[in-house]
Amino acid sequence: MPPIRTSRNRKPPPEGFEEIEDTLLEFTNKMKDAENAPHEGKRKNESVWEIFRISHQRSRYIYDLYYSKEAISKALYDWLLKNGYADANLIAKWKKQGYEKLCCLRCIQAKENNFNATCICRVPKARLSKEQAVECISCGCRGCASGD
């Protein structure tokens, strides 16, 4: 049986965690709110959009901290990924050209769709007609093509 880790015997997080702790706590609270929010009047898909959104924002926050602001150390970044504060697979996609703004991994899963195409939110704004308001089914994204 693996040892149970509680706040009493946990190894402390790497240096620099204190600075971002508050923001992460905010995200955690938002996530809890979203999880407990009522789903009445929402479509089946719609109920999880908020969860996707917060998860995306938190991943983006950590990604920005490490790559563009260079505010956290490699050790802390790895620790955050390991502890589920950010989605490592999503971040891996952001590093690829053409996927810089990707909303979620489900939206590039072409095989899950009827015509084996990616999600509508991956289509650049220029390719869509002007009036078409996009809200993708899987995560409620309104467009995450890199060119927009």
Partner 1 sequence: MAHNLPTRPLKSTVANYAYTSPGGTPTPAAQAPLPSGWTEHRAPTGHSYYYHAATKTSTYTRPVPPSTALVPQHTPGHTSSSQFPFAAAVLSGSQFPGDPFTHGAPTTPNYPHYPHQQFFQRGRGGGRPFQPHRPPKKPDRPKKKRPLPGVENWVLVLTKLGREFVHNPETKESLWLGKGKIPDEVVKAVEKLKSLGLEELSKLDEEEKRASEARRRARRAEKWKATAVTEELEEKGEGGEYGEYEEEEGADGGQSGGAGVGATGEGPRGKKRSASAAELGEEGEEEYEEEYEEYEEPPEGAPKWDGGLPASGGGAPAGPVEFTEEDISWQLEAMAEEYGLEEEDLQEEDLPAEDAVQIYREMLEELQPNPYGTWENTYPSLAHDPRYTVLNTTKHRQEVFTAWCKDRVAILKEEKLKQERKDPKVQYWEFLAAHIKDVKKLYWPEFKRKHKKEKEMKDSKLTDKDREKMYREYSAHTKLSPTLLENELKKLLKSNKELTRYAKVDGLPLTILADVRYAAYPLVLPGDAKSSGLPPPRDTVIQAFLSTLPEEARPLSEKELKERQRQGALRERERTVKKEQGRLRGEIERGREILKGEEMEIERAVKEVGRKGLLSAIEAEREREKEREKLKEKEKAES
**Binding residues vs partner 1 (CB under 8 A):** 7-10, 12-13, 17-20, 23, 26, 53, 56-57, 61, 64-65, 68-71, 101, 103, 121, 139-144, 148
Paired tokens of 79: 């620790």
What CA–CA distance (Å, rounded) separates 99 from 108? 9
Cβ at position 23, least distance to partner 1 in Å: 6
User: In this complex, which beta carbon is closest to partner 1, that of residue 6 or of residue 116?
Assistant: 6
Q: Give 12 or 41: the residue with its C-beta nearer to partner 1.
A: 12
The sign of the dihedral angle between the CA atoms of 15, 19, 22, 28 is negative
Nearest-approach distance from CB 68 to partner 1, in angstroms: 5
Using the minimum distance from each CB to partner 1, give the nearer residue, 83 or 116. Answer: 83
Give least dist CB 49 to partner 1, A.
8
Instruction: Please say whether the beta carbons of 121 and 112 come within 8 A.
Output: no
Phi-psi region of 141 (alpha: psi -120 to 50; beta: other; left: phi over 0): beta
